[in-house]
Structure formats: structure tokens, C-alpha cells
Structure 1
Amino acid sequence: MTTEFKDNITILGETIPLGTSKEINFNIAKLHTATKIEVPVIIERSKKPGPTILFTAGLHGDEINGIDIVRQLISRGINKPKRGSIICMPILNVFGFLNSSRVFPDGRDLNRVFPGSENGSLASRVAYTLMTEIIADVDLIIDFHTGGASRFNAAQIRIVHDNPELKALADVFSPPFILYSKNITKSFRNACSQLNKPILLYEGGKSFFVDNTISKIGVEGVKRILTHFEMLNSKHKVTPSKTTPVYVEKSKWIRATASGMFKAKVAINSKISVGDVVGQITDPYGKIHHAVKSKLEGYVINVNEASLVYQGDALFHITTQLKH
């Protein structure tokens, strides 16, 4: 992260000096009724120079838990720094949020069109504006996500290999798990990395659901990051992490070998061994009772909470190689 901080930053064409509180509307598009769709960009700048940190959520419209975390940063005043600047964008995909959908109205996944195009699809235009009009003056991005569908993710930070800065920041955030994962082509994380903008991706919970523990871990992680950069306002207290993060090199899925009604027998974050019964699949008629046994040893970092599953569905995500 740079140590040369600007007195003025520019967001969506507006110059914002130190000591300014500002809300700018990110004009995405209009509905068919000509009603404007605008995403608020909430900016808080201290009078004292320092880093500029961007907090984003709702890249997928169904990932409500991430939105709740950024909402709490704003409602509790955590986004008002004692030095530097904090930018909050609680909902990047407002269309998906309004339609209870993961994707944009054009059917595209916003997280697969970066860095976008000025004259492309609706999703591509949003990605382009985000990268060109907001990211330029940002020093760090923390992007909040959840598990898809009914799959509940353990609280985790995802980073790439061989990046000491991201590793140090992930340690500061101190989630239960830190996963090494490659940047996906055309993702927001990849686009930021190509601009040499450090980004932490937080995963936790499942779509269309707010879990208080997942939100608390996210908020406390943010407070630790802000404390690390001497940005956290003194009225907020930091809760020391009670656990040391588990670094995950590799992981595998346990999949259903039969279709039916599913019940998980192990909780998220728990450690399992080979041969453990981790779930049960039954039929509606009480004739079939299929025990799901683990062929893996490791921590459970994702649980499928669906009541009905088909053969081959992913049920549990298990760590298989830890970094020591």
C-alpha cells in the first residue's frame, strides 16, 4: 500500500477534499418506466491524510449477508475514520438486489465481466464505471460475499499465493479460515489485482440470509484492519480474535451418492475424520436411509443446507491440505 496519500480524491468525477462527508449517486441505468436506478457511494474523509479503503458488497444481488456487514459499518459510524478515507458501497448489483437475483437483468454475472466496457452490456458498463471512476484513488478494497444458493460458507478470507501484503492483511483481519485461491478471469478481484490494488475477498453465510455470527466476524475484521492503519475512531473498541486463522491450501467436496431428503449431521467449522457420518439422505416414504460418510479428513468450510438434494450435489466442502 502506498505511503503517499492525496489531499483530494476523485470519485465519479467529483473532487472530494479532506474532512468531507459525501454521498454520491452511482447512476447505473433506468427502469423500463424511466425511473432512475442509483447506487449511493458513501464517502467519509478525515481531516488527517491516510489510506483510502473501499468496502463493497452485493456484487451478486442475492448476497445479503455482505450487504448487512457494510450496512453496519455505516449505521454504527465505523466508516468515519480518524485519519484517511473510507468509501462504502453496500450494493453493487442493485438490479439483482431488487429482483432477488444473483445476476443482472441482461443475465450476466457482474463478477465475470470485469474490467468491463464503456459500450458493452449493462453489467459490463457498471464494471467499467466502477473500475475507472472509483478504484483509481483507492489503496485497499475489501469485498464481501456469501455462499451461493443454500450452501453456507464458513467465514473466510480468500487471497492469492505469494503476496506477502495480502497475507499480512488477512492475518490482521483474522477470520477462522484463510483460503489460497487463484483470481478468476474477469472477476472484480482479478481486475483490482491487475491494477496493483490489494483486495481481500470475504466469504461467509449463504444467499438470501443474514447470519449474525458471520456479520459480527466481518465487522470485527474490518475494525482490526482500520486499527492496523490507525484509522478506527477511538469510540469503537476492537475485539481481539480468539482463534488463529487456519490457512487452507486445498479442499474437496463431499457429494451426494443418492437423491432424496438431506440432513447434515456436522456443523460448519467442525473437524471431521475419515469414516465419520456427516449427513443422512432419506426418501419421503421412510424406506431409504442412506448415511453420508466422509472419505476426507479436515475442517468443514461449507455445508449445503438444502432439504432436497440430487445425486452428485455438493454437500460439504472439506479442507484437505493446510498450510503450516
Structure 2
Amino acid sequence: MHITPRNFEILGKSIKPGENKTIELNIAKLHTMTELKVPIIVTRSHIDGPTVLLTAGLHGDELTGIEIVRQIIRKGINQPKCGTIICMPLVNIFGFVNQARDFPDGRDLNRVFPGSANGSLASRFAYRIMQDVIPVTDYIIDFHAGGRSRFNAPQIRIEPNNDELDELAQAFSTQFILYSNNIEGSFRTECDKLGKKYLLFEGGKSLDINSEIIEEGLQGTMRILNKLNMLNDTFKAKTPNNSICIENSTWIRAQYSGLLHNFTLNGTYVKTGDLLGKITDPYGQVEEPILAPNDGYIICENQASIVFQGDAVYHISTKLLNE
């Protein structure tokens, strides 16, 4: 584990022991010539220790994660007992301004890592993060939400067969741990390649702020900081519950276009053949049930009122760990 040096530096700025400093990462200018800067809030203890990075808003429309990191700062949870906590509440400021997922060049920032110094706008920004921020970190918690209308039950996603990540995910202790392989070009993949311990938190949906998901994120973060002996004595995380570990999962897709009626609470365990919802037409002629294809937990539901044939409507576990 990397121990925060006494002369801790990030983006060419030095942060002394016990100091709080906001550093601005200048990423680009709008077409109006207005500069866009990403604030990075760095808080150091007087006591040496690990460095934890908290990021949100990699997709600019995922507001719940932004609010989780904002509250961590506002409540002072980012004041560590030892080590350093770096907060980037809003990574994709372009998307946030436009209430959109992607960068203005149409690229998904979470598919262009590690980026390039001479690539697209999104690629250049990813490159800056990997070059200027990630090298000084040890642990990363990256907060995400589902796409529009897709509400994720609170879950930590990690790659399989990694004992240390599994231990950290258990410490975070949200409702589900989902084991999933890394995706090429993702932030998670590149952090893992560098040996950084990365947890991806998923909860809620985009363009939405959900208080229950926020509380899950806050409590999980405090439990991680407590495990690392970094949680300030002012705070006490709630006792963790045992997470449900999901090894495999699949999407249930709409067989018809129409109005979607959902009967199943997110996070619910269902049995094969259970009625999850139905799809109807506007004229009273069609009413098609959506049935569970297997026993499992519903870990994401489509909350749209209208769906099209082939749309993902439920994400269901197909195999639990050690099942």
C-alpha cells in the first residue's frame, strides 16, 4: 500500500499535512471561449496513511453519485484521521452542463481510458486523469447510476477472483456485490491495470437524486474509510449487513412495444414464472405478461412508461456466488 508522503503533490500543487486545498484541473474551453475547470478537493491528515479518491459524474447526468460525494465533503467525512482523501464530485462537467451522459464530441468518457494526449476531447481528459491524479491514489470509489429510466438497486461491481477487492466490497456492504469482468476502455480497467484498488458503486438512475441510494453510498464510504483506519472519530458508520454476491446475471427484454406496468420492487427475490410486470397497448387489445425466466434477484428495473421491443426491462441474477 502506498503511504502518503510528507510532500504530497497533485497537478503540480503541494498539499501539506493537515491542509485542505481545492485544485482546479483546466480541461478545455467552450465554444464561447469560457474555460471549464474541474475542482479537485484534497484533504490531508497530519498522520501519514493511504490515499483514497472519490469520483462521481463520470457520466454527467448521473446526479445521485455527485450528491453522495457532495455530502461527503459538506458533512466533513472527507477529513481523514490519517492519509489523504481526494474528492472529484463532478468529473464530466460538460455532460453535467448539458444534462447528458457523454462529452460534447459524442464519446462516452468511460470507454476512452487511458486516453491520449493528442486524441479526442474525451480522450485527452481521460489521459489527464490517468497521468495527473491516479498515480498518487491507492483506493478509488467511483459512483455511478443506471441509464435513463433504468434504476439500479445499490450494488458494488468488482472483477472476479480478486481477494482484496472482495474484502473491500464486503466492507462497503451494500445490498449486492456483482462480479463482472472489466470492460475495455473503462476507468475501472485502467485503474486495475495500475494496481489501484477500485470499487464501482451503482445505484439509482440518471437525472434523478434518490435519498435512499445516497445514504447507501455515504454509509458504504464511511465503512471503507473505517476499515482503512481513516474515518474521523466524529463519524460512526452503521453496522454492515451481509451483501448478496451475484456471480452471473442477465437482462429480461421486452418482447413487445407498449406501455410498461411494473409489479416488482427492485432488489426483490423472485421465482421462475413469477409475474414481474406486463406490457399493454393503448387500445385494450394487448396485455402481455413479463415472467421471471429463473429464480433470482431483480437488481435493475426499467421505470419508463413506454418501452420498445428489445428494450431491457429487468436485470436479474442467474447465479449467486457458491450457489
Q: Above 0.5 in TM-score? A: yes
Structure 2 CA distance, aligned partners of 1:196 and 1:231?
20
Structure 1 CA distance, aligned partners of 2:101 and 2:237?
33
Where structure 1 has 5 or more consecutive residues not aligned to the other structure, the ranges are: none
Aligned to 1:124: 123
SS in 2 for 1:214: helix
Structure 2 CA distance, aligned partners of 1:138 and 1:245?
26
**Paired residue type of 1:68:** E
How far did residue 5 of structure 1 move? 3.5
Structure 2 CA distance, aligned partners of 1:13 and 1:303?
44
Structure 1 CA distance, aligned partners of 2:255 and 2:136?
50
Structure 2 CA distance, aligned partners of 1:120 and 1:252?
34
How far did residue 278 of structure 1 move? 0.4
Structure 2 CA distance, aligned partners of 1:7 and 1:226?
20
Q: Using the aligned pairs only, state the percent identity.
A: 52
Q: Map Cα deviations across residues 241-267 of structure 1 (whole Å, 9 max, x no partner).
A: 2x3101111001111111110011101
1:310 aligned residue (308, 311, 315): 308
Structure 1 CA distance, aligned partners of 2:170 and 2:293?
30
Kept in 1, the 8 Å contact 2:4–2:84? The answer is no
How far did residue 209 of structure 1 move? 0.5
Aligned to 1:168: 167
Kept in 2, the 8 Å contact 1:95–1:104? The answer is yes
SS in 1 for 2:82: coil
**Paired residue type of 2:185:** K
Q: Map Cα deviations across residues 43-89 of structure 1 (whole Å, 9 max, x no partner).
A: 10011111110000000011111111101100111001111110000
Structure 1 CA distance, aligned partners of 2:193 and 2:40?
23
Aligned to 1:197: 196
Kept in 1, the 8 Å contact 2:65–2:145? The answer is yes
SS in 1 for 2:300: strand
Counterparts in 2 of 1:192-271, with a 5 A limit?
192-241=191-240, 243-271=241-269
Counterparts in 2 of 1:1-324, with a 5 A limit?
1-2=1-2, 4-241=3-240, 243-324=241-322
Structure 2 CA distance, aligned partners of 1:14 and 1:92?
19
Structure 1 CA distance, aligned partners of 2:193 and 2:184?
11
Kept in 1, the 8 Å contact 2:5–2:48? The answer is yes
Kept in 1, the 8 Å contact 2:61–2:96? The answer is yes
Where structure 2 has 5 or more consecutive residues not aligned to the other structure, the ranges are: none
Across the aligned residues of Structure 1 and Structure 2, the Cα RMSD in angstroms comes to: 0.9
**Paired residue type of 2:194:** L
Q: Map Cα deviations across residues 102-143 of structure 1 (whole Å, 9 max, x no partner).
A: 100011110011111111111111101101111111110100
SS in 2 for 1:117: coil
Kept in 2, the 8 Å contact 1:10–1:134? The answer is no
SS in 1 for 2:170: helix
How far did residue 191 of structure 1 move? 0.7
Structure 2 CA distance, aligned partners of 1:38 and 1:163?
35
**4+ runs of 1 displaced by more than 2 Å?**
none
Structure 2 CA distance, aligned partners of 1:191 and 1:294?
36
SS in 2 for 1:115: coil
Structure 1 CA distance, aligned partners of 2:278 and 2:147?
22
Q: Map Cα deviations across residues 141-174 of structure 1 (whole Å, 9 max, x no partner).
A: 1000001121111100111112111011001000
Structure 1 CA distance, aligned partners of 2:142 and 2:6?
25
With normalisation by structure 1, the TM-score equals 0.97
Structure 2 CA distance, aligned partners of 1:112 and 1:275?
36
**Paired residue type of 1:323:** L
**Paired residue type of 1:163:** N
